[in-house]
Amino acid sequence: MITRVNGPQVWQRWKAAKRLALLAIFEDSVTGMRVKEFCQGLSRNLGEQCQIVEHVWLFNTLRLRELQEIAAEEASASDLVVISVHQTEGLPDDVKNWIDLWLRQKGSRHAVLLALLDPPYEGASGPTEAYLEEVATRGGMEFLVGSTDVPVSGWHARGRGGDVEA
């Protein structure tokens, strides 16, 4: 599979800085694979000179308050936070609690929030997308949305910062 990532302008800053701190949380193995494929494409786009520091969390690990705090601290130091989900009814309360912790710790650090969602025909992700957009607004972040179109080996994200294709 050939993957292209045409990112927002902020990606050029990460490339110039030669470092990107990324935190990803995902729901299950399918959404975890979505994150992995995105990160591989991003790595190719940013080039070998750019170090990507990844922190990865599974939704169910955020059931414990102590782990929520660790993940929130990691997210508050991240340039890019990726949330990969196929939930149509909204995010679990544990994930929402983690998001609240993260936003309290984040401060004014510039960050991008990327939501990787199921394609529209697999279920309406409207409530989840709307909630995450509101999170980005509260946190003063750029917001991007991506969805995979299975079996097509590509996806397209739209947002305030530009288009992303993989």
Q: What is the DSSP string of 61-75?
A: GGGSHHHHHHHHHHH
Grade residue 18 by pLDDT with cuts at 50, 70 and 90.
Answer: confident
Q: Is residue 11 part of a domain?
A: no
**Mean pLDDT, to the nearest integer, of 29-58?**
89
Domain count, the chain: 1
Asked if residue 83 lies in contact with residue 115, where contact means CB atoms within 8 angstroms, the answer is yes
Asked if residue 86 lies in contact with residue 118, where contact means CB atoms within 8 angstroms, the answer is yes
Structure token pair of residue 162: 């530009």
Q: Is residue 152 part of a domain?
A: no
Q: How far apart are CA 123 and CA 164, in angstroms?
A: 21
**pLDDT at position 154:** 39
Q: How far apart are CA 142 and CA 133, in angstroms?
A: 9
**pLDDT at position 137:** 92
Mean pLDDT estimate for the chain: 80
**pLDDT at position 72:** 97
Q: Is residue 4 part of a domain?
A: no
Q: How far apart are CA 14 and CA 112, in angstroms?
A: 11
Q: Is residue 54 part of a domain?
A: yes
- Classify residue 37 by its DSSP letter: H
Please determine, for residue 32, whether its predicted confidence score (pLDDT) is greater than 70.
yes
Rounded to whole angstroms, what are the CA distances from 9 to 46, 54, 56, 86, 104?
Answer: 12, 21, 24, 27, 26
Q: Is residue 158 part of a domain?
A: no
Q: Which position has the higher pLDDT, 14 or 164?
A: 14
**pLDDT at position 4:** 32
**Mean pLDDT, to the nearest integer, of 79-84?**
94
Q: How far apart are CA 43 and CA 165, in angstroms?
A: 13
The CATH number given to whatever domain includes residue 83 is 3.40.50.360
**pLDDT at position 156:** 38
Domain coverage including residue 28: 21-32+40-121+129-144
**pLDDT at position 44:** 85
**pLDDT at position 120:** 63
Q: Is residue 100 part of a domain?
A: yes
Q: Is residue 151 part of a domain?
A: no
**Mean pLDDT, to the nearest integer, of 148-158?**
39
Q: Is residue 111 part of a domain?
A: yes
Grade residue 150 by pLDDT with cuts at 50, 70 and 90.
Answer: very low
